[in-house]
Homo-oligomer: A and B are copies of this chain.
Amino acid sequence: MKVIKFGGSSLASASQLEKVLNIVKADPERRFVVVSAPGKRHENDTKVTDALISYYQKYRNHQDVTAEQDWIIQRYQDIIDSLGLGSAIFNQIKQSFKDLASLPIVDNDFLYDTFLAAGEDNNAKLIAEYFCQNGLMARYIHPKAAGIIVSSEPQNARLLPASYDKLEELRHAREILVIPGFFGVTEDNQICTFSRGGSDITGSIVAAGIGADLYENFTDVDGIFVAHPGVVNNPLSISELTYKEMRELAYAGFSVLHDEALIPAYRGKIPIVIKNTNNPDHPGTKIVLEHQEQTLPVVGIAGDDKFVSINMSKYLMNREVGFGRKVLQILEDLNIRWEHMPTGIDDLSIVLREKELTPIKEQEILAYLTQTLKVDEVDIERNLSVIMVVGENMRNQIGVTAKVTKALSEKNINLEMISQGSSEVSIIFIIKTEQEKEAIRALYHNFFENN
């Protein structure tokens, strides 16, 4: 049993929906289809969701909304007409969008969420109708009926854990269920949307809820690339990635799936595959709990900038019980999240994201370090980037660190800091941001082009 989710660009036009139909038909295990709202058909197009935001803003400001309504309804009509779906479904969708303009504006915390969710909701109805007319036994199901009951946090809904019992019952549905992504329903019957990456979250929740064998996430790329295509020309895509590896890559800027979307599937031990609607024969990237394939030691190389390092040294620091804890305590008191803490004997660095260190917090920290902890020296190093070389199989391979450091040294890239933990899922190098792209290219060349 598989849950299959399609992103907006996969659902932007009739020709895209034909691909979707063929994909769903191709595997009888694809029994739960989670859909986004129609996305862009071409680069300068408008997403339905963005049009709904304009519609909401005008309505909220008591302005005329006819143009926005018409544009949105026309998007759906274009698809319906091209697919020959008839007027019943069109009228239903048209009315649904018009009805938004009669919702109460005052004291309605969920107005924005309700407007936005209409894009996914109506698309699910349309797609269920299209499937039915083309030989698939399919049924639209509203998140409330599906059991996606969420907390009352507008634009930041969280699934209530009790939902999973209801979701599990969906296993017994005889039809293919078409579920709108991006939103759930509160216990008070309000539409409430998830945070960014919302349809991915719905797919992940449904996959965990029904205990799917696989969660297929269809998008418009051939999976996750080994390195950022903006840095490396035409990079390879990763065939298999573990959740841990995905987390490490996501940390340093890889963003195919949002963290929030990974959690339910991870907890439910459901593998994910990221595939391309426009190239469904490409195997894509599989995200698994443990590697099944014999992969290369390194699966991906990521880089992220805007890091700073607070470097301190104190003679005999190493003998002072509690020194490191006190440093972390002041950061916690200032609500600063830190990333790494490389240590020498009498020196210690704290690596954090630049945005965490506001000027006032920086002053507080420096005062505390010099006056209370009495460090001998402290300085702040800026414009740092983190380079992550990721791969769970590194731990069985002697020499990955040697290969990495040699590649960087040949390009005259100095290592400011290194952190390699015992998990060996990744090795983290901190370098100057001005050398970040060159470092990624050098590593890509050494790990993926020389073999």
Contact = CB atoms under 8 A, between A and B. Distances in A.
A346 B420 contact: no
Interface string A283-314: 00000000000000000000000000101010
A420 B415 contact: yes
Given A325-B332, A421-B342, A414 B398 contact: yes
A247 B422 contact: no
B425 A347 contact: yes
Contacts of A448: none
B344 A421 contact: yes
Q: How large is the interface on A (under 10, 10 to 19, 20 to 34, 35 or more residues)?
A: 35 or more
A247 B315 contact: yes
Question: Is chain A's binding surface mostly helix, strand, loop or mixed?
Answer: mixed
Given A332-B321, A342-B420, A347-B422, A409 B414 contact: no
A419 B341 CA distance: 9
Interface stretch (A62-70, A144-152, A400-408): A400-408
A409 B259 CA distance: 35
Q: Which of A339, A343, A428 has the most CB of B within 10 A?
A: A343
Contacts of A418: 401, 418-420, 427
A417 B426 CA distance: 11
Contacts of A318: 247, 251, 339
Interface in A204-252: 243-244, 247-248, 251
B309 A347 contact: no
Nearest to A340: B343
A345 interface: yes
B417 A420 contact: yes
Contacts of A408: 402
Contact of A428 (B243, B341, B344): B344
A448 B227 CA distance: 38
Contacts of A325: 325, 328-329, 331-332
Nearest to A407: B402
Interface in A315-341: 315-316, 318-319, 321-322, 324-325, 328-329, 331-332, 335, 337-341
A309 B420 CA distance: 13
Given A419-B419, A421-B343, A315 B398 contact: no
Nearest to A415: B401
Contact of A259 (B247, B316, B344): B316
A381 B341 contact: no
A416 interface: yes
B322 A332 contact: yes
Contact of A344 (B341, B381, B412, B425): B425
Contacts of A423: 311, 313, 344, 347, 349
A374 to B, nearest CB: 13
Given A347-B425, A349-B422, A423-B344, A409 B417 contact: no
Interface of A: 243-244, 247-248, 251, 259, 263, 266, 309, 311, 313, 315-316, 318-319, 321-322, 324-325, 328-329, 331-332, 335, 337-349, 381, 398-399, 401-402, 405-406, 408-409, 412-423, 425-428
Given A248-B346, A344-B425, 16 more contacts: A247-B318, A309-B422, A311-B422, A313-B423, A339-B343, A340-B343, A344-B423, A344-B428, A345-B426, A347-B423, A399-B405, A405-B406, A406-B406, A417-B420, A418-B427, A419-B419
